[in-house]
Structure 1
Amino acid sequence: MLLALISLAACASPGASREYLVHDIAEYRRVATTLAPGDVVTLANGEWKNFEIMFEARGTREKPVTLQAQTKGAVVITGRSNLRLAGEYLVVSGLVFRNGYSADADLISFREKQGVFASNSRLTEIVIDNFSQPNPEEGENWIAFYGHDNRLDHSHILGKRSRGVTVAVIRDDPQPQADRHRIDHNYFGPRPPLGKNGGETIRVGTSDLSKGISGTIIEDNYFEECDGEAEIISIKSGGNIVRGNLVIASQGSIVLRHGDGNLVERNVILGKGKPGTGGIRIINARQTVRNNYIEGVTGTGHYAALSIMNGSVSGPLNGYAQVTDTLIEGNSVIEAAEVSIGTGAGSKLAAAPVRTRFERNLVTGTGGASPFAVVSDASGIAFLANVAEVPPTGLSDRPPETIAVKSEVLNRAANGLFYPEGNVGAPRDLDPVSRDAVGVNWYRNP
């Protein structure tokens, strides 16, 4: 079959795209060295064991080079395997990684080696299910972004048990340009607690390169029981957008850990009363946290529904930078255990937030108690037109217009979220991403 296809390709007109159906690793490797724009490589249905896939080619925007399953979900990569992409305009789709573990530090990587990476490329409708190292301490990143303008979408990722980030944006040093990656419409399923750092579901950047702009967009993803560690989404670079995601019963938070000028908006976080569930934690400068909905979150301190941290003015890059010039606006925090202001305050983190605005937020606690915990100087935060259910502890000196105390009647709207009668809190046109709109619809965990 392969020889017939190659013969047909040789007789085709110059520049014509070719299609290959390959049945084993040897056939794949022969074909993989000849790929040109528009070519399609199809892996035959079945189990591909101990398959280290090197997919290197250069397509174009109009004619990408594609690696795909013969039937979505029927090509299962098992054993000691991995996938590396290098080049331009590549597409990989329909593969399932199950019953195995990575042959490298990254299971799927947008690079072959240092300096040889993929850009303008896409992973779509990929399944990774419990593909973890036998020794959980060894660990690996399941998907590692390098290069720029790459995308992960409509994929189904669950059950990571070993150390390492589920999806990591890794910025090569030096990295002069923005990454501009996109992570959207994916289902991130249960990940058990790791018990230490290194269990993020998504991490964008690292502390040493956090002053640069990544420009990565994380939107319309569905996170369910992602309990790996305190940071479900860990932002460690600047200029990123975290938008329109749904987080359900996950023990952790969306954390602006390093980097400035990030935007977190229109996310829905439902703690479901589960212990250790968090919301949004804010560190660094020029952050915008607006129009989010947070309900039933039980965490306090670093895990609070909204946690505005103390920092230091001149600490190391891997420390906690002072919160400055930040906007926290139009969020709904419903039945939350705590809203923490000055989290971590102490001799090492003595710099309280400054030039920060807290406006038009709706905040309700549990059991008739105020969820506000003010553990540092809050004079650098301007409060305006917020609504709380009971007088906020530690902010009693503020004028009434800063935080109005009202016993709001909250009603569930058609989108399943609580809203008051007044114009405060999260917008009414929020549309939480549905389970059917993310991941793949052809995979059922066996």
Structure 2
Amino acid sequence: MQRRTFLTGTLLGAAFATAPISALTTTSASAATVTVSSIADLQREIDRAAPGDRIVLANGTYHVPAAGIRISGRHGIGTHITIVSQSRGGAVLQGDRSFVLSNSSGITISGFAFRQRQTLVIPADCSDIRLTRNDFKLVDTAGVDWVVVKADGVKVDRNYFHDRSTEGVFLVADGPDAPVDPNKETMVKGLTILRNHFARHTYGGTNGGESIRLGVSHRALDNAGAVVEYNLFEQCNGDPEAISVKSSHNFIRYNTLRDCAGGIVLRHGNGTLVHGNHLVGGTEGIRLYGNDHTVFNNHLTGLSGRAFVIGSGSARDHLPGESKTLQRGNDACDRALITHNTLAHNARTLVGENRAHEPRDVVLSNNILVANAGSLVELGQHTGFTWQGNLLWGQAANGTIPSGGFVRTDPRLQQGADGVFRLLSNSPAIGAAVPTTHAVNDDVDGHPRGSSRDIGADQHTTAAPLRSPLTTADVGPNAA
């Protein structure tokens, strides 16, 4: 087939000025760049696209037919097929549906403004799909999740999800609709959620308005391996769980939640790492259920609710083969490691619960807890906890922490211009950390800890932070 190539420097410059090098490189000698200005022409070019092709939709507002823009049987093997707006947010898609994918791989969808009524689904018969630098503000319809990922190897990066007031989730990670074994429903594997901006979810209910939901109760024991990193959440108030984890062995790191009612909640599943996150203002902090989680280097300040909850359970553990009704209950937090976190000036600091099954065998070490009201530790029934090297300060009472698990002394924290509480050079926390079973090699700022480690999220240094709380310049369609 003869390929047509339209190389227009102005269009490419506008659309890809800050795109990653990998997104600009093509390896196919027959790869084409073509610009179209109608949905019919866009569909025609998608239907005949080959690896490395780039299809540019001119700026404008388009009403997408009821059948959607079909991407079927297209495979960007070796080099992605890229479908891109002429400029970021310049091609506005309206109508019931946007892109409808099936049996496709190696596809990048970039730069569109999505204004649909129905969910954008990445189905299980696809893989290696990338959604990047898009603007998602779907019609504000109750019960409609905006993006649902059911395929493996998907990357969702540098998008803007914003402004909804109804029940529903911005971004859902799920799994195949028809599992081979109906008693073992699996999660998508290898999902990356990177440098997105989630903002202003104002649904007023008590459940169902998460920003990200990784899984669902009956898939929670399956290992997803999702990476949620460097995302910014602002005024995400649609649910107490801004990031709701209902699967196992994920990585929640380097995110910033600012002025959000929702927090980071490991609601179901086991073995997730939560580290390097900033939770600033807002209400909820970090809440744990399930087994064998590791939580370190997190900085929580100014929260009006519970900064850190070690959850109790309606069940000891969830087990394979349970009914879906039982799987929706809470399972107690067992064998978590909670270390090198700084919780400063929150309304309630470290809190427990009182369901039938208490948390067990949790290690809390090298944490800084500071508050001026209430009690720093308010745990209910718990068994086999280990407390080591924690530092408590402020007018708040010690609470239920055992006497041998902490020292009470001023950590000498100073709040920087970025809002982070860091150690002054004469802090007693410097070099005072006890060894941990998980190697914590750097701090919340990205600085190496070395062999002499400090208590709390910050390792004292005069060097500038390598990581800081995120701002809008760090995320979304125009981020580097």
Q: Secondary structure at the match of 1:96?
A: strand
| Aligned equivalent of 1:283 | 289
Tell me the CA shift for residue 419 of structure 1: 2.2
Q: Secondary structure at the match of 2:172?
A: strand
| Aligned equivalent of 1:440 | 477
Q: Secondary structure at the match of 2:146?
A: strand
Q: 1:366 to 1:141 in 2, by over 3 A?
A: same
| Aligned equivalent of 1:17 | 31
CA distance in 1, matches of 2:382, 2:205: 32
| Aligned equivalent of 2:109 | 92
Q: Secondary structure at the match of 1:121?
A: strand
8 Å contact 2:111–2:477 — kept in the other structure? no
| Aligned equivalent of 1:231 | 241
Is 1:54 the counterpart of 2:91? The answer is no
Aligned counterpart for 1:191 among listed residues 191, 197, 201: 201
Tell me the CA shift for residue 425 of structure 1: 1.1
CA distance in 2, matches of 1:161, 1:176: 31
Q: Secondary structure at the match of 1:383?
A: strand
Tell me the CA shift for residue 391 of structure 1: 4.0
Q: Secondary structure at the match of 2:156?
A: strand
Alignment of 1:257-268 (within 5 A): 257-268=267-278
CA distance in 1, matches of 2:469, 2:317: 39
CA distance in 1, matches of 2:349, 2:100: 43
Tell me the CA shift for residue 59 of structure 1: 3.3
Q: Secondary structure at the match of 1:235?
A: strand
CA-to-aligned-CA distance 1:331-361 (integer Å, 9 cap, x gap): 0001011134432x1xxx2111111101111
Q: 1:39 to 1:330 in 2, by over 3 A?
A: same
8 Å contact 2:276–2:299 — kept in the other structure? yes
Q: Which amino acid aligns with 1:380?
A: G
Is 1:431 the counterpart of 2:475? The answer is no
CA-to-aligned-CA distance 1:378-429 (integer Å, 9 cap, x gap): 342211111111442123xx233x1211233321246541124222211245
Tell me the CA shift for residue 197 of structure 1: 1.6
Tell me the CA shift for residue 20 of structure 1: 2.7
Range with greater deviation from structure 2 (308-317 or 231-240): 308-317
8 Å contact 2:299–2:341 — kept in the other structure? yes
Q: 1:295 to 1:91 in 2, by over 3 A?
A: same
| Aligned equivalent of 2:121 | 109
Q: 1:237 to 1:176 in 2, by over 3 A?
A: closer
8 Å contact 2:175–2:188 — kept in the other structure? no
Is 1:385 the counterpart of 2:389? The answer is yes
| Aligned equivalent of 1:211 | 221
Aligned counterpart for 2:132 among listed residues 124, 133, 137: 124
The gaps in structure 2 that reach 5 residues or longer are 6-27, 180-184, 319-325, 430-453, 460-464
| Aligned equivalent of 1:242 | 252
CA RMSD, Structure 1 to Structure 2 (Å): 2.2
8 Å contact 1:294–1:333 — kept in the other structure? yes
Q: Secondary structure at the match of 1:426?
A: coil
8 Å contact 2:85–2:110 — kept in the other structure? yes
CA distance in 2, matches of 1:140, 1:387: 45
| Aligned equivalent of 1:69 | 85
CA-to-aligned-CA distance 1:259-281 (integer Å, 9 cap, x gap): 1000100000001xx4xx11000
Alignment of 1:400-419 (within 5 A): 400=404, 402-413=405-416, 415-419=418-422
Is 1:168 the counterpart of 2:172? The answer is yes
Tell me the CA shift for residue 83 of structure 1: 2.2
Q: Secondary structure at the match of 2:61?
A: strand
Tell me the CA shift for residue 76 of structure 1: 1.0
Q: Secondary structure at the match of 1:140?
A: coil
8 Å contact 1:341–1:378 — kept in the other structure? no
| Aligned equivalent of 1:309 | 311
Aligned counterpart for 2:337 among listed residues 322, 327, 336: 327
8 Å contact 1:246–1:433 — kept in the other structure? yes
Is 1:30 the counterpart of 2:44? The answer is yes
Is 1:154 the counterpart of 2:158? The answer is yes
Q: Secondary structure at the match of 1:419?
A: strand
Q: Which amino acid aligns with 1:91?
A: T
Paired-residue identity, %: 27
Alignment of 1:342-381 (within 5 A): 342-343=352-353, 345=354, 349-367=355-373, 369-374=374-379, 376-381=380-385
| Aligned equivalent of 1:292 | 298
Q: Which amino acid aligns with 2:476?
A: G
The gaps in structure 1 that reach 5 residues or longer are none
Q: 1:352 to 1:15 in 2, by over 3 A?
A: same
Q: Secondary structure at the match of 1:27?
A: helix
8 Å contact 2:84–2:109 — kept in the other structure? yes
Q: Which amino acid aligns with 1:109?
A: V
8 Å contact 1:336–1:371 — kept in the other structure? no
Q: Which amino acid aligns with 1:110?
A: I
State the TM-score, normalized to the length of structure 2.
0.79
Alignment: residue pair count: 404
8 Å contact 1:40–1:66 — kept in the other structure? yes
CA distance in 1, matches of 2:166, 2:351: 34
